[in-house]
Amino acid sequence: MQKINLLYEGKAKKVYTTEDSEVYIVSYKDDATAFNGLKKGTIEGKGAINNRVTNHLMKLLASKGIPTHFVKQLNDCETAVRKVSIVPLEVIVRNIAAGSLSKRLGLPEGTKLATTVLEFCYKNDELGDPMINEYHIAALQLATKEELEKITEYSFKINQILTDYLKDLNIELIDFKLEFGRTSDGKIILADEISPDTCRFWDSKTKEKLDKDRFRRDLGGVEDAYKEILKRLLGE
């Protein structure tokens, strides 16, 4: 499989077309940004780690009945994925208060939420990905009612699968962000990535942060945190 044209370059990944009209190649970068691109940096080895962690988790989810875009890992930083058009929503799932939820609602980070919280943000960099609800989604025609129901059903199921899996590795799944896509035949499947860039992972015992918050908040030990996640998940 060969990369033909660069279709899109995001903050952390590039997407290429291939000779197969139904398959794209995703190439993960070491570039890191935060606060909608305001803070920029490099996390050495991040591209390879996020590629491998994402594929590992996508395979786990697929084995439990979640349809995903994963096709085949091509090398350390590149993966073949099914072509989709991305639904312009960032779907955030929260088990424990942290980050923007803690700020907005005045809950100390680490507060257990009585029930899982689902949030939708409109994927639009110019607007800073504002939080929206199902009425905005319908009014802006970002997804149909049926699509949003599928997205919601998959998101809760993914949360259960990942929480249970990570618990055994002494990782607490605080919150995470998902993106979904539409296939050519109109099905909703999981797309994008599931990695320390897009999840909050805390060590279950020490509550040490093992994710991109180390970069966002200048906590140091950024590369080591990504390596630790790779080690716990893939044993390397």
Residues that bind ligand TMP (CB under 6 A): 92, 98-101, 175-177, 198-200
Task: For the CB of residue 98, give the shortest distance to ligand TMP in the complex, in Å.
Answer: 6
Where do runs of H (alpha helix) occur along 108-192? 134-139, 145-167
* 218 φ, ψ (degrees, to nearest 5): 55, 50
Output 60 or 117, the one with its CB closest to ligand TMP: 117
* 121 φ, ψ (degrees, to nearest 5): -120, 145
Biggest CA pair distance of the chain: 51
How far apart, in whole angstroms, are the C-alpha atoms of residue 32 and residue 226?
A: 13
Output 74 or 117, the one with its CB closest to ligand TMP: 117
Task: For the CB of residue 186, give the shortest distance to ligand TMP in the complex, in Å.
Answer: 26
Cα three-residue angle 233-66-135, rounded to 5 degrees: 115
Task: For the CB of residue 21, give the shortest distance to ligand TMP in the complex, in Å.
Answer: 29
| 8 A C-beta contact, residue 96 and residue 174 | yes
| 8 A C-beta contact, residue 6 and residue 24 | no
| 8 A C-beta contact, residue 32 and residue 12 | yes
Task: For the CB of residue 236, give the shortest distance to ligand TMP in the complex, in Å.
Answer: 23
Distances from the Cα of 218 to the Cαs of 40, 79, 80, 89, 132, in angstroms? Answer: 12, 30, 33, 28, 29
How far apart, in whole angstroms, are the C-alpha atoms of residue 229 and residue 152?
A: 27
Output 50 or 198, the one with its CB closest to ligand TMP: 198
- Tokens in use for 225? 């945190």
Output 90 or 147, the one with its CB closest to ligand TMP: 90
Output 18 or 61, the one with its CB closest to ligand TMP: 61
Task: For the CB of residue 226, give the shortest distance to ligand TMP in the complex, in Å.
Answer: 14
* Side chain identity at residue 96, one-letter code: I
Task: For the CB of residue 210, give the shortest distance to ligand TMP in the complex, in Å.
Answer: 12
Task: For the CB of residue 9, give the shortest distance to ligand TMP in the complex, in Å.
Answer: 16
Output 83 or 177, the one with its CB closest to ligand TMP: 177
Output 105 or 138, the one with its CB closest to ligand TMP: 105
